[in-house]
Amino acid sequence: MGKRCDDLELSINIGGKSFKNPVMVASGTFGFAEEYASYMNINEIGAVITKGITLKPTYGNPPPRIYESHGGILNSIGLQNPGIQEFIADKLPYLRTLKTHVIVNIAGKSLHEFEELAKRLDIEGITGIEVNVSCPNVEDGGIMFGKDPQLIEKITSLVKRSTSKAVIIKLTPETVDIESCARAAANGGADAISLINTIVGMAIDIRERKPFFKRVFAGLSGPAIKPIALAMVHRVSKAVNLPIIASGGIITGNDAIEFFMSGAAAVAIGTGNFIYPDCSIRVLNQIKHFLKENGYKSIREIGGISGE
């Protein structure tokens, strides 16, 4: 009997690679994984998506960088990272010791930078490249790329040509036509789509009569954005035939199940990692529990909803 309980089929496929389960951790919320090593067994999750990497080291934005709103958090980190050279020299060796997939998030300021980043990451120990065309917290590139389907297609095909890795395009919800953006990624040859990145928001210090963040706008994440993320994932799942890695306020297994039903192939835990460092493991266990309770044998059985 005990054995039968573990008979659940949790594996999924992205870009021809098999992932042992569909629970990942979202870029920017899990550092380079080592930070979480004493809180959980990282090897148990389906994949680690690293902090966004740029060509040159990036200092990031001046503090304050985080603000808690009702049900969500605003962040203005500004892609602080050591740059690709130090990433490969100092961070990748640890990531290579993990017995799970490593997906590296890249953020270029130009087409050329995306190409260069993808080429330099076409090395051992990396399964996929997540292309960040959706960061709201930087001056150059970021979200500006993600609003323009033509640019998305160009960047996707450029990255795809520059690497043998699975290519995942991370989209922003800050567009009127998410379907076109997703189709552009598909046309460019993307293996999967990640969505959503944070939503642009702001906070005001009313005593100082000033914006809370020096860059005025910041990125909203957490449970507050979950319904929006769910709608975006659902729309994109109807528009393209690509696996979707869903993120946006997933804290519990039930949150994740909603995303699977809305059309996601995998989920990425973001803000949840800050609240419970082992949030991804909790979500994974709760997903298993839900599947067993409801008589499902495979994660692939729960996609779709009735009544549409």
Question: If binding means CB under 8 A, how many residues of this protein chain bind other proteins?
Answer: 32
Candidate ranges 57-65, 104-112, 176-184, 231-239; the one touching other proteins (CB under 8 A): 57-65
Minimum CB separation of residue 43 from other proteins in Å reads 16
Minimum CB separation of residue 240 from other proteins in Å reads 31
Interface with other proteins, residue 277, by CB under 8 A: yes
Candidate ranges 58-66, 142-150, 172-180, 186-194; the one touching other proteins (CB under 8 A): 58-66
38-43's contacts with Cβ under 8 Å and 24+ in sequence apart are 39/277, 39/278, 40/277, 40/278, 40/280, 40/281, 41/281, 42/98, 42/100, 43/98, 43/99, 43/100
Q: Which is nearer to other proteins, 173 or 222 (CB)?
A: 222
Residues 8-37, mask of contacts with other proteins (x by CB under 8 A): --------------------xxxx---xx-
Q: Which is nearer to other proteins, 73 or 95 (CB)?
A: 73
Interface with other proteins, residue 213, by CB under 8 A: no
Whole-Å CA distances, 132 to 8, 24, 63, 78, 135:
33, 16, 23, 13, 7
Minimum CB separation of residue 57 from other proteins in Å reads 9
Q: Which of 11, 15, 17, 64 binds other proteins (CB under 8 A)?
A: 64
Q: How far apart are CA 105 and CA 49, in angstroms?
A: 7
Minimum CB separation of residue 73 from other proteins in Å reads 6
Q: How far apart are CA 251 and CA 176, in angstroms?
A: 27
222 half-sphere exposure, CB direction, 13 A CA radius: 18
Residues 67-86, mask of contacts with other proteins (x by CB under 8 A): xx--xxx-x-x--x------
Per the annotation, the verdict on 5 as an active-site residue is: no
Q: Which of 274, 290, 300, 302 binds other proteins (CB under 8 A)?
A: 274
Q: How far apart are CA 201 and CA 2, in angstroms?
A: 48
Q: Which of 9, 63, 93, 254 binds other proteins (CB under 8 A)?
A: 63
Q: How far apart are CA 270 and CA 48, in angstroms?
A: 11
Q: Which of 89, 204, 275, 305 binds other proteins (CB under 8 A)?
A: 275
Residues binding other proteins (CB under 8 A)? 28-31, 35-36, 38-39, 51, 59-60, 63-68, 71-73, 75, 77, 80, 222-223, 271, 273-278
